[in-house]
Amino acid sequence: MDGVIVDSEPFWQKAEREVFTSLGVEITDELRRITQRMTTNEVTRFWFKRNPWKNKGIEEVENMVIDRVIELIELENCLIPGVVDTIKELKSRGVKLALATNSPYRIIPKVLNKMNIIKDFETISSAEFEKKGKPEPYIYLSTLQKLNEKADNCIVIEDSNSGIIAANKAGIKVIAFTNGGKNLITENFDFKIPSFENVDYTIFESVK
C-alpha cells in the first residue's frame, strides 16, 4: 500500500522519530534505513532492543506510532498520482484486485476510505497477521488462498525490493512501480510502470 497507493513513508518517518525520541531512543538515519521495510511491530522491537525504555509495552508504543501516522494521513494528501484511476480502470476490465501490505491492519481502511476505493478490492491482507512481513512470502501466499487463485494467474505491483523478493518467493509475476525513477529497484521483475498516469493495460490481460 505505502509506495504504491500512497506515499506515506515521510509520515512513518515523522511518527517514529517523534514517538521513539520521546522515549529516549536515539534515531539515526543509518539505522532508520534498516527499518524502512519492516512491519511496525518489527520496527518497535528493533528500537527497543537497541535502547530499552521503561513504563510502556511494545504494543502500546507500536500503537502510538500508528495513531500518529493515521493523524497525518487524515490531515494531508499523500495519494500517488493516477493510482485511483488505474484501480478503477482495472476493476472495470474485470481484473480481481487484492491488497497485500506490511502496513498495520487498522490503518488500511483509513487510507482506502479516504480514497473511496475500499470496495474495489476483493480482499485485504496485512502482514500484521502473518509469521513475518515482506520480504517473506507469507502475505502473498495468504492472499492467493483468499482469492482462490494460483500464483501464475496473478501479478503483483510492488515499489520496493523487499516486496519484489516476497512476490518472487511466492511465484507471482511482478510489475515494478518505479515512480519516475524515485524507487531504486534492483531485484528481478517482469514488467515496469514508471507512472500510474500512463499505464499499459495490456500487462494485465493474462490475469483476468
What is the set of domains in the chain, with CATH numbers?
A: 9-75 (1.10.150.240), 83-207 (3.40.50.1000)
What is the 8-class DSSP label of residue 130?
A: S
Q: What is the pLDDT of residues 64-103, one digit of tens each?
A: 999 999 999 989 888 999 999 999 999 999 999 999 999 9
CB atoms within 10 A of CB 192: 13
Question: Which residue(s) pair with 158 in the sheet?
Answer: 176
Query: b/e per residue, 37-54, with b = 16+ CB within 10 A?
Result: bbbbbebbbebbeeeeee
CB atoms within 10 A of CB 130: 19
Q: Which three cell numbers mark 89?
A: 480502470
Q: What is the pLDDT of residues 93-148, one digit of tens each?
A: 999 999 999 999 999 999 999 999 999 999 999 999 999 999 999 999 999 999 99
